Amino acid sequence: MHAFPCGTLPLDFVGTLRARRNAAPAEKLASPEQLDAWFVEAGVLDTAPGADETDVEIAVDLRESIYALVAARLDGRPLPSRAVAGVNRHAAGLPVTVRLHAGGASRTGSVAQGLAALARETVEILGGDEAALLRECARPECTQVYLDRSRGHRREWCAMKTCGNRVKAASFRARQHGAAAPRV
């Protein structure tokens, strides 16, 4: 199962490499099956696109290009040209096929089409006003990025139910531990 704390698919896609600053980050796209599952769980596609090892390499490369662009925006640096070219190349790809039928609608396509959808949304975010809303989770162990659409733009964590809860619980335990210590 994949996590989608951001509500923004390209940023959730970046989060498939968890704790990226750790010595051994957790790779959530280590196999074609995991990539297929991500597309379906994210709602990009209704059925698995049938990824192979090459698709995984291409997807990871796009993910890292998106992260490089986001990191540059967060740090106020110029966008890296290699990452810009990679995202633009994917964004120019064919869209996911959307079909209307008696039971509703379906979204189908290849890995390349799913990646094109992510790249196009990345272009919209980084090339528009929402780029100013980019943040990185304040929990030191987390490297998830998100768009802070909160009122007042003071959101600190990628998700309250995970990172926010962990930080608040740790702070509470620290206060309790400090209050229980005898004073000399």
**What is the 8-class DSSP label of residue 14?**
H
Residue 175 belongs to domain with CATH number: 1.10.3300.10
Residues comprising the chain, all counted: 184
Q: Is residue 1 part of a domain?
A: no
Instruction: Please tell me the predicted confidence (pLDDT) of residue 143.
Output: 77
Q: Is residue 3 part of a domain?
A: no
Q: Is residue 42 part of a domain?
A: yes
In tens, the pLDDT along 11-62 reads: 999 999 988 888 889 999 999 999 999 999 999 999 999 999 999 999 999 9
Q: Is residue 2 part of a domain?
A: no
CB atoms within 10 A of CB 17: 17
Residue 82 Cα distances to 10, 65, 88, 89, 91, angstroms: 18, 8, 10, 11, 14
In which residue ranges of the chain is pLDDT below 50? none
**Structural domain harbouring 141:** 9-180
Residue type, 29: L
Instruction: Please tell me the predicted confidence (pLDDT) of residue 114.
Output: 98
Residue 161 three-state SS: helix
Q: Is residue 67 part of a domain?
A: yes
If one counts the domains in the chain, the total is 1
Q: Is residue 4 part of a domain?
A: no
State percent of the chain over pLDDT 70: 84
Q: Is residue 25 part of a domain?
A: yes
Tell me the backbone φ, ψ of residue 80, rounded to 5 degrees.
Answer: -65, 130
**Residue from 122, 159, 120 nearest 139 by CA:** 159
Q: Is residue 60 part of a domain?
A: yes
